Amino acid sequence: MTSTLIIGAGMAGLTAARHLVQHGHTVTLLDKGRGVGGRMATRRMTDTDPPARADHGLPYVTPQTPEFQALLDQLVDEGVMTRWLPSDSADTITAPGYAGIDGMNAVAKHLSDGLTVYTSETVVRIGTRVAGWQVETESGNLYRVDNLLITMPAPQALSLLKRSGLTLSDIDQNVLQQVSYQPCIAVLASLNQTSQIPAPGVLIPTDGTAQPTGFDGWTMLIDNGQKGIPGPPTATILLNAEDSQTYFDDDLTAVGQRVLTGLSHWIPAGSVELVQVHRWRFSLPATQVNNWYLKADTPFPLLFGGDGFSGTQPCLLQWPNGLESAFWSGRKMAEQLL
């Protein structure tokens, strides 16, 4: 039976794994995080019953293709996602959105059901052997497989190749170097009352529209309760790429305080119980490759994919469709191996 190892258990890795397992492959996924999902991430902020939770990665997704729409509809039927339909307001997202009922990470956990996944496994070296690949992790584990799929952000993949002493062809190297990412800082607030964010619970700054804010560096403001996450009220503020880069190495407590002070019109200071800040160094693709994946010129199958690979569909080139790019990348990588 053909064996495949996938580095990265985000949407691309999970999609590829599910497709390969359905066709009889033996698949193992490794992820350096404590759980699956990558930027489908939900933070448990308190130990209350129920806990306060907030999405701090991708807050929702809008489907653009029938195949991805079908997956989301299936997840709705299975009680994992909900159709979240923002109102037609100048200050809100107007396209229909789908969100995780218990947070976006619950979607990733559901997709990983039945798969062999090892988390907290950081890959430190990859190399060839007589008939395939050998992958070594920080914990000392060795994995020997026929096929290797790498779905981590391309800059991280390039670092792994360098550490491993594995040289790709100039053409393959140049493809990976085309992919770049912008950072994002997420500020999470646990509240003692509901926020003042109007229904349906999401705001974006609108060009040319005056905003009652003392901080202009935000790109999205979300009420997680209105989005469907149960428990005490929480809010998530996502900073834009420019300000995320500016404040990326600053003290996180100070960053969170500055952001919330500037957005007190929607999140009153007296309502804030707890603040947490998360930095995403590789958040959204800034530049993508117009293919679904890279099949490297190597003796044994080595494929690179993820949301940095957008195929040729213009509708998937812009946020918030990165998750759909990852879905298609994972699916196309799996099809390449079948």
d(CA 75, CA 100): 9
d(CA 290, CA 310): 5
Q: Based on the fold, state whether residues 201 and 304 are members of the same structural domain.
A: no
> Could you give the number of structural domains in the chain?
2
Beta bridge partners of 278: 186
DSSP 315: G
**Domain final residue pick, 246, 263, 287:** 287
Q: Based on the fold, state whether residues 338 and 197 are members of the same structural domain.
A: no
Given this model, what pLDDT does residue 314 score? 54
Is 4:11 a contact under the CB 8 Å cutoff? no
Q: Based on the fold, state whether residues 217 and 78 are members of the same structural domain.
A: yes
Is 109:36 a contact under the CB 8 Å cutoff? yes
d(CA 252, CA 250): 6
- Per the rule left: phi > 0, alpha: psi between -120 and 50, beta: everything else, 218 is beta
Q: Based on the fold, state whether residues 69 and 151 are members of the same structural domain.
A: no
Establish how many alpha carbons lie within 13 A of residue 237's alpha carbon, considering only the half-sphere containing its beta carbon.
Answer: 30
Q: Based on the fold, state whether residues 91 and 171 are members of the same structural domain.
A: no
- Per the rule left: phi > 0, alpha: psi between -120 and 50, beta: everything else, 263 is alpha
Give the CATH number, domain containing residue 192.
Answer: 3.90.660.10
Q: Based on the fold, state whether residues 198 and 283 are members of the same structural domain.
A: yes
How far are the Cα atoms of 77, 108, 147, 301, 331 from residue 292, in angstroms, in the given order?
Answer: 28, 21, 17, 16, 9
Strands across the sheet containing 202-203? 202-203, 218-223, 234-239, 180-191, 272-287
Q: Based on the fold, state whether residues 46 and 142 are members of the same structural domain.
A: no
Q: Based on the fold, state whether residues 25 and 118 are members of the same structural domain.
A: yes
Nearest Cα residue to 292 out of 329, 324, 237: 329
Q: Based on the fold, state whether residues 128 and 161 are members of the same structural domain.
A: yes
Given this model, what pLDDT does residue 86 score? 56
Phi, psi of 94 (to 5 degrees): -100, -15
The boundaries of the domain holding residue 325 are 1-37+112-179+289-338
Q: Based on the fold, state whether residues 271 and 306 are members of the same structural domain.
A: no
Nearest Cα residue to 289 out of 122, 157, 163: 157
Give the CATH number, domain containing residue 313.
Answer: 3.50.50.60
Q: Based on the fold, state whether residues 117 and 167 are members of the same structural domain.
A: yes
Nearest Cα residue to 102 out of 78, 71, 74, 73: 78
Length of the chain: 338
SS3 114: coil
SS3 327: helix
- Per the rule left: phi > 0, alpha: psi between -120 and 50, beta: everything else, 231 is left
Phi, psi of 32 (to 5 degrees): -75, -20
Q: Based on the fold, state whether residues 270 and 295 are members of the same structural domain.
A: no
**Domain final residue pick, 245, 267, 287:** 287
H helix runs in 38-183, sequence order:
66-77, 104-111, 154-164, 170-178
DSSP 131: T
Given this model, what pLDDT does residue 89 score? 44
Grouped pLDDT means (10 residues each) for the chain, 338 residues: 95 98 96 94 94 94 90 96 66 69 96 98 94 95 97 97 95 95 96 93 69 79 93 96 95 95 93 96 90 95 94 58 88 96
Nearest Cα residue to 172 out of 307, 334, 294: 294
Given this model, what pLDDT does residue 315 score? 54
